[in-house]
A = this chain, B = another copy of it.
Amino acid sequence: MTRRAILSPEKAVLGLLMRGPMHGYELYQKYATELGPIWRAGRSQVYAILKQLEETGQVAAQTEWQPSRPARKVYHLTPAGRQAFLDWVHQPVKSIHDIRVLFLAKIYFLRQLELGGLEELIAAQKAVCRERMQAIAQAAANLEPTDFAHLVSEFRYRQMEAILGWLDHCSRQFAVQGEST
Name A residues whose Cβ lies closer than 8 Å to a Cβ of B.
37-38, 96-97, 100, 104, 107-108, 111-112, 145-146, 148-149, 151-152, 154-155, 158-159, 161-163, 165-166, 169-170, 173, 177
Contacts and interface: CB of A to CB of B under 8 A. Distances in A.
Given A107-B151, A151-B173, 8 more contacts: A37-B149, A97-B97, A145-B173, A146-B177, A151-B170, A155-B166, A158-B166, A158-B169
28 contacts: A37-B149, A38-B152, A96-B100, A97-B97, A100-B155, A100-B159, A104-B151, A104-B155, A107-B148, A107-B151, A108-B148, A112-B148, A146-B173, A146-B177, A151-B170, A151-B173, A154-B169, A155-B163, A155-B166, A158-B162, A158-B165, A158-B166, A158-B169, A159-B159, A159-B162, A159-B163, A161-B162, A162-B162
The interface residues of chain A, by DSSP majority, are classed as helix
A146 B170 CA distance: 10
Contacts of A162: 158-159, 161-162
A10 to B, nearest CB: 20
Contacts of A170: 151
A163 to B, nearest CB: 8
Nearest to A148: B108
Contacts of A145: 173
Contact of A148 (B111, B155, B161): B111
A41 to B, nearest CB: 15
A133 to B, nearest CB: 12
Contacts of A155: 100, 104, 163, 166
A145 B161 CA distance: 22
